[in-house]
Chains A and B, each alone.
Chain A
Amino acid sequence: MQREITCIGCPMGCNLIVQIENGEVVNVSGNSCKIGIDHAKKECTNPTRIVTTTFPVLNGIYPRVAVKTAEAIPKYKIEECMKALKDVAVTAPISRGDILFRNIVQTGINIVATQSVAKK
């Protein structure tokens, strides 16, 4: 299988052509440096992303708290992750780093607050 992706290693944005066999990257072309190869390998075998969103806050000085997945989650699970967070609301006080949702979509990864919200 062949895939074309854009390298994000630098502003060059090389158009990488990646050969994949049995789930393994066997060849990368179009890159200008080694970063391209590493990026291709990661993107074509296990692409992951940190997802950020907000939760409604009850009784806080702000109506929303910003949150993120504590680590990057598999890219294909992003949508499922957002859906799972649909009706989540949290109560102040919240400290940055607090775990607000555990094991999002069976990734073993938690959703943590990225800001503190004091009680109203």
Chain B
Amino acid sequence: MYDVVIVGAGVVGCAIAREVSRYKLKTIVVEKENDVCCGTSKANSAIIHAGFDAKPDTLKGKLNAKANLMYDELAKDLDFPFKRNGSLVLCFKEEDKPALQELKERGEANGVPDMQILSGDEVRKMEPQLTDEVVAALYAPTGGIVCPFNLTIALAENAHMNGVEFAFNEEVKEIVKGEGFFIVKTGNKEYETQLVVNAAGVYSDVINNKVSEEKFTIIPRRGEYNLFDRYIGDMVTCTLFQLPTKLGKGILVSPTVHGNLIVGPNAVDQEDKDNIDTTKEGLEDIMAKALLSVRTIPLGNVITSFTGLRARTDKDDFILGEVKDVPGFINAASIESPGLTCAPLIGKYIAESIKEILEAEINPYFNPKRKGIVCFSEQDEDTKRALIKENPLYGQIVCRCESVTQAQIVDAITRPLGAKDTDGIKRRTRAGMGRCQGGFCLVRNMELLEQELGVHFTEVTKFGKASSFVVGIDKEDL
């Protein structure tokens, strides 16, 4: 019998799992994919929002600015890349300036510190690449950027260290309500539990609607992005938003925490919960809009394009907490932007209500710290030498674009909750995420998975399931 079953190993599920692990509770996270961070958490803007966007009377408004301020300590404790690069909301028309002011006031009401409205010239001094059309901007120094993969992975690993179990490739098919308990049924297994937490992202409506009469519908909202080579990553330092107008919400241009440049997203509602195809129109649209903010973006430097789905409902706010008609069933649903930012605080919030429901005791062995995979290329020379001395595989580069060593990849595969596929390696170490997109290191990564996991080469996949790379050996079909 479990105390808690968390459905979904995205950033929200993992944040909840970590917070729940502060208590003496038997918890398992059940995930339908092969790894953590496979849905909305893996494909978004990777922004830690300052918190001026949401209305103060919404959950988003209440949580955002507070959650933002948790990140310094969290990044230190959990060892994931995070940077406060500041964000700018760009205003392009004189007549829109009042709206900028309004945004500032909203931010202040939400508790966002140190905001400033800057003139066009002032902001161009900060960001010389801005277009002349920018007439003013709202500057929020607390805005930040994060590696969403390593944030999620760090939360999961820390939860796991503190006793939370994880089950992958298990899609929840059915939830049976008993007297004071639930049976969560996946294809292969059944989990008896006191509480169920629904953190199923774009599928959170499906999970909720299986048990509750208070039904809701997730309308996945697609957002497409282009990611650019590091060559132009330093083009801007702040995250550049566009002031929402009647014409739309605008798109962002931002450095990523790893030094790339990201442009996107558009916003198109769709029914399909799995369709993360990119479209020609979408990618053209974001590039056209990006040129409102910055003078040029060399298209030849795109290294990859992707689509993310925001798990939103027409309520336009998070759905958090125990469902009225089903005691013991807790939603962490409808988590759209600023969901990544709020995840740690959502985790706290949900964990506290779990603690109260179950009257849980504190876990005295809880360790809030987790050590990540050493990013060899970012170490100073002495550390590098020491690392190689300890493990010569730190001297063996596998991914040349991102300078990832074999030791890092082996660590990624062999650590608890480690990578089981090449996407898992990529998200943990960045091997294959650079400008050649794995052209050189893919085969080597496959070999390392084969070697470390003891699987056959033909069983190595990109992201589990049927995403294999090779179908057999040569001449066998002749």
Chain A residues within 8 Å of B, Cβ to Cβ: 53-54, 79, 82-83, 85-86
Contact = CB atoms under 8 A, between A and B. Distances in A.
Given A79-B478, A85-B475, 10 more contacts: A53-B474, A53-B475, A54-B474, A82-B475, A82-B478, A83-B475, A83-B478, A86-B475, A86-B476, A86-B478
A2 B285 CA distance: 53
Q: 6 closest Cβ contacts across the A-B interface?
A: A86-B475, A83-B478, A82-B478, A86-B478, A82-B475, A85-B475
Interface in B426-478: 474-476, 478
Q: Is the interface of A mostly helix, strand, loop or mixed?
A: mixed
12 contacts: A53-B474, A53-B475, A54-B474, A79-B478, A82-B475, A82-B478, A83-B475, A83-B478, A85-B475, A86-B475, A86-B476, A86-B478
A53 B475 CA distance: 10
A86 B473 CA distance: 10
Contacts of A86: 475-476, 478
A63 B58 CA distance: 61
Interface range on chain B: under 10, 10 to 19, 20 to 34, or 35 or more?
Answer: under 10
A82 B474 CA distance: 10
A53 B474 CA distance: 10
Contacts of A79: 478
Contacts of B476: 86
A54 B474 CA distance: 9
Nearest to B477: A86
A67 to B, nearest CB: 12
A54 B476 CA distance: 13
B460 to A, nearest CB: 15
Nearest to A79: B478
Interface in B116-158: none
Contacts of B474: 53-54
Nearest to A82: B478
Nearest to A85: B475
A19 to B, nearest CB: 36
Contacts of A85: 475
Nearest to B478: A83
A79 B164 CA distance: 56
Nearest to B473: A56
B148 to A, nearest CB: 38
Nearest to A56: B473
Contacts of A53: 474-475
A52 to B, nearest CB: 12
A86 B476 CA distance: 7
Nearest to B475: A86
Nearest to A80: B478
Contacts of B478: 79, 82-83, 86
Contacts of B475: 53, 82-83, 85-86
B217 to A, nearest CB: 52
A82 B476 CA distance: 11
A72 to B, nearest CB: 20
A82 B478 CA distance: 8
Interface in B164-209: none
A83 B476 CA distance: 9
A63 B474 CA distance: 13
Nearest to A87: B475
A112 to B, nearest CB: 18
A59 B191 CA distance: 48
B471 to A, nearest CB: 17
Nearest to A54: B474
A48 to B, nearest CB: 21
